[in-house]
Structure formats: structure tokens, C-alpha cells
Chains A and B, each alone.
Chain A
Amino acid sequence: MPEGHLLEFRDLTKTFGTIRAVDSLSALVEPGRVTGFLGPNGAGKTTSLRMLLGLIRPTSGSATIGGQRYAELRHPLQTVGATLEASSFHPGRTAADHLRVYAQAAGLPAGRVDAVLGLVGLADAAGRKVGGFSLGMRQRLGLAYTLLGDPGVLVLDEPANGLDPEGIKWLRGFLGQLASEGRTVLVSSHMLAEVQQTVTAMLIISRGRLVYEGDIAGLTNADDVATVIDAPDREALARALDAAGVAYTQIRAGFSVPGTEPAALGAVAAAAGVALSGLQRRGPALEEVFLELVNGTRVENGTRVEGGAR
């Protein structure tokens, strides 16, 4: 079984002219779980990953895999599998030949090509030219490339782009399985919803800086929970809530009451004799928390990393 490695970003910085694309990024990515690397487009995710993979030279700081820089790895493809874009193919080359090129470069046995094509469900398309592939098939071929060397570390940049819902579900299960085998899996995405069900740890960056490092549970507080309550007679309901001293905001579906459980609100309505048409607990809106983190209106005191100082 391949060995997962700890990935470490240490004060990683990259400037392009006057723009700090990545700004003092320090973070750890542990083996044995799927870590999401999140941030809006242009936040510096791809630049960070490219520095980790030795494709971009950091302005300062370092990014290492099990303590080694990528270029120092003795067997890179057997250590780290990575895909960075869905279009790194010569359109006139077949899928199998594409993989054969890199299997040879890494000194891997030719049998790996068929093996990984089977793993990603492309066995039937092995002899077809990549130019005719759909985006989803290209993503699968990219994934096949990352698996060529059976590496302990997987780095995937926006792997869900272009996958249909079935493909996304498949990818989730696949990444989870790879992590459960002890591998390090780092997956970037600009959409929280896309990876929310897959990842157990998260790094969120915005404008090149780390704004959150931790698990999904730590992303939200108890008062992020809200209860949505509605009645055919909204005026009566509003009066009842006012009388009980409950703060609420009116939304299209009724009233949203933050930090209060449905049972308490049901009791308020019952006491006032208001018949309800809806009473529902709404979980933390992760997407909103994510957006607030990213645009700087929310600061996670417990886990926020200040200026790269750990």
C-alpha cells in the first residue's frame, strides 16, 4: 500500500509584479483524509498547488511533500499524482498512448496504463483519440494520470469540473476510498457545495491568504442554526413573536429566527393560538459562511491563521 505523506506549506508566497497571488500561506495537509482546498476563482489555489508541484518557483517560503520539495523526489509520479487542468492532452493522441508516454517517463510497467484506465472507467475508450473526449472523460483521464504511479499523495485541481452528477458521486466515493487507504488527498474547488460531502478537512484561502483551516464542523457556530416559521396569518405570528421577545427576520418562506430551536417557537405560537403552516430547522448555511470568510466579513477566531504565523 502506498504511503501517504504530510504536505506542508510554510510561509509560501508568490508575487506576480505587484500582485501577491499567494501571501504567506502556511498549512498542513494530513494523510488519511480528503482535504478540501477552497477559495473563489483567482484566490491563489492553483498557484499554490503549482508551487507544491515544482511548476512555479515560490517568491519565498516553501511547500514540501513528506519534507521534500517536489523536484527532490526520487520517483515523483510514484509519490505524488496530480492533475491541474482538464486540457493537458495532445488531441491527436489516444488515451492509452497519452498515459504510456508518462508511464515510460516514470519507468512504470506498461500494465499500469490499462489498470488505471479501468479504475476510472475509461477502458473502452483506451484506443480513442483524446480530441474527441467530453470534458467529463478528460477529467477521468486526468485522474487516470494521477493514479499511474499508485502514489500516496493525490493533488487534484477542480476535479469535479465538467463531471455530471453521476460522475461527481463516483468521484466522491473514489476519493474517500483513496483517503481511507491512508493516502493524502488534496482537492481544490471554488464551490463548497461540490466538496462539502467529500472532505473532512478544509483550507480556505482568499486573495492569497489562508482564512480558515479546520474541519467542516468548526466552520459554523451554534447560532448559525436558524428556524424558519410560517403561518397563514403572518401578522398574528409576527405579533406573537414580538410579544415573546423573539428576534426574527422576514424571508420569503416566512420568518427566520436565528439560534432558536423549533420546539421553542412552536410553543410560542401555540400559546398565542396561531396556527402554523411551516416550522423547520435550517442547518448552518455553509455556503454563506464560506462567502463571509472569503470576503472578510467573518473571522474565525479559533482557527484563523494570522499572517501565516502558526
Chain B
Amino acid sequence: MSLANASRSELTKQFTTAMWWILAAVLLAYVGVTAGGLAATFGALSTGAIPAEATNGSAMPSDVIPPLIYSLATSVGYVFPLLIGTLLVTNEFRHKTLTPTFLAVPRRGIALGAKVTAGVVMGLLYAVVALVAAVGVGALALALVGVDTRLGHAETWAMIARMAAAFVLWTLIGIGIGTLVRNQVAAVVGVLAFTQFVEPIARTVATLVDGVSGVTTYLPGAASDALVGASIYTSLGGASASALPWWAGGLVLLGYAAALLLIGYLTSWRRDVA
């Protein structure tokens, strides 16, 4: 029994059921279509291929469009690593496989450590899928409408690296939520409700009401956008760039992951398995 063996076992669990590639396929299609469509639209607006009078907003300068498009990988796609992380744990509760898992790896800390390790790998894998969709499809669409893809700029690649980090952190947050919530349906519904409704609404309200943004800046989605450095929500929501520098956003996100994992380990993971 070792962390390496236990981690390998966790990864085998991931790749021996259909969930990982279903989520990956949806992620690829969802982010790919969004990135391609928005890249073509914003690009065509900025080059004048679509006349500015056709919209009620002003055309974006062409140099802010590429990072905005690429960041769709996280701003739209972050729910996927969050889901796979959550399922990585709640599947065990749902199918009662925690018993054979703990029989093979009785030290609960190692068992959770193996899930975290597997989560890092899954987060990176999903980051690759999302980046292929956002950067690959997005850059292709931008090139087609004649906008510089900015792929020659180091800052673009730094942002891509930060997005990969964000994906890993979101997976770990999912694992933390999974250990705490246990019930798969409740966890998945909660994750979707929070990421798709609660936080977007809160962040939208924050752009309208003074003082609220001091709190919403520290919400995980906002922290993730800060880490990445660009987001369709902050750009289109009219809010000025996030108050947090990228590294602070990363630390906030890491803080969520660490806190959830620690609380989950202490309160839920070590409980009796009946």
C-alpha cells in the first residue's frame, strides 16, 4: 500500500467508466462552439466585417479579443473539472465502493491523497481538452476573420499555464465538495446551481451595487477569473478588471481547495463506513 499505487488505482477508476470521456466530449463541444462563435463575431466586429451599427455596443479593440476568447476555457469550462472532482468522490458513496477502497487502502489520509493526486491529473487532462477547444478553435476562428491570434506573445502562453492551474484547483475543490456532501445528486445539483446561478448573479449584482464587490471578489469563480487574468464575465459585465492580482486569485482558489479538503477529511472522510 503506497500513495503511488493508490493514485494509480484512482486513475484506473476514472478511465474504466464512461463518465470521463462524456464530460470531456461535452466540454470540448461546449467551449469549442462558444469560442469559435464568439471569436468570429468579435473578430468580425473589430475588423469591420460586421458594421458597428449592427450592434448596440462598441467594437472591442482587436488585441483584447484573443485573451477573452481563450479564457472561455475557464470562464465557461470551469464547471467541468469541478464536476469530475466531485464525482471522483461521490461515486464511491453512491456505489458503496468506499468499502473495497478502504479495505485496499485503510489509511484514510493516503486514500484521500490518492484522490487528490488523481484529481491533479484529471484537472490537467481537462485543461488540455478545454484549451484545445478555446485556444485551438478560438485562434482558428480569429485567424479566419483576420485578427491577430497573439499566440506569438509570451503573455498568452502564461495565461494558458494559469488556466491549466485553475483547472487543477477546480478539480481539487470538487474533491473537497464531494467528501463533504457525499450525496451525488445533491453535490452535482449544488455545484451546478452555485456555479451557473448563484455566483454569476452575485457578481452581476456586485457590478450594480457599491460595496458588494468587496465580497464577490473572493468568490471562487471571481478568484478563478482573477487567476486567469481575463474573463468574458468581467469584460462584458462592465466591471473593471478584477480587484485581485492573478497570484492572489490563485491563492484564494487554492485556499478554497485546501479548506474544503481539510474540512472534508476531518468531518466526513474519517467517518465510519457502514
User: Which residues of A does B touch, CB under 8 Å?
Assistant: 47, 50, 53-57, 70-71, 73-77, 80, 82-85, 87-94, 97-98, 100-102, 104-107, 145
Contact = CB atoms under 8 A, between A and B. Distances in A.
Given A92-B17, A92-B18, 19 more contacts: A56-B272, A56-B273, A76-B104, A77-B103, A84-B99, A85-B99, A88-B96, A88-B100, A90-B13, A90-B95, A92-B19, A98-B16, A100-B16, A101-B13, A102-B104, A104-B8, A105-B101, A106-B104, A107-B1
Given A84-B99, A92-B18, A100-B16, A106 B1 contact: yes
B267 interface: no
A291 to B, nearest CB: 27
Contacts of A87: 95-96
Contact of A101 (B12, B18, B99, B274): B12
A89 B105 contact: no
Most B CB within 10 A of own CB, among A70, A89, A105: A105
B235 interface: no
A78 B104 CA distance: 9
Contacts of B96: 85, 87-88
B274 to A, nearest CB: 6
B103 A104 contact: no
Contact of B16 (A73, A97, A107): A97
B156 interface: no
A101 B95 contact: no
9 contacts: A50-B272, A56-B274, A89-B95, A90-B91, A92-B19, A97-B16, A102-B104, A105-B8, A107-B1
Q: Give 7 closest A-B pairs by Cβ, nearest first.
A: A105-B9, A97-B16, A105-B104, A56-B272, A104-B9, A55-B273, A71-B106
Nearest to A14: B272
A54 B12 contact: no
Given A102-B9, A105-B6, A91 B95 contact: yes
Contacts of B106: 54, 70-71, 73, 76
Contacts of B19: 92
Interface of B: 1-2, 5-6, 8-9, 12-13, 16-19, 91, 95-97, 99-107, 114, 272-274
Nearest to A92: B17
A263 B117 CA distance: 75
A55 B104 contact: no
B104 A97 contact: no
A101 B12 CA distance: 6
A53 B91 contact: no
B2 A107 contact: yes
Nearest to B102: A55
Contacts of B99: 55, 84-85, 88
Most A CB within 10 A of own CB, among B16, B99, B103, B114: B103
Nearest to A146: B103
A53 B98 CA distance: 13
A38 to B, nearest CB: 20
Contacts of A89: 95, 97
Contacts of A106: 1, 5, 104
A47 B274 CA distance: 8
A76 B103 contact: yes
A94 B13 CA distance: 11
A57 B270 CA distance: 9
B5 A107 contact: yes
B99 to A, nearest CB: 5
A92 B102 CA distance: 20
A89 B114 CA distance: 19
A306 B109 CA distance: 38
Contacts of B100: 83, 88, 102, 145
Contacts of A56: 272-274
A50 B103 contact: no
Nearest to B111: A105
B17 A93 contact: yes
A93 B17 CA distance: 5
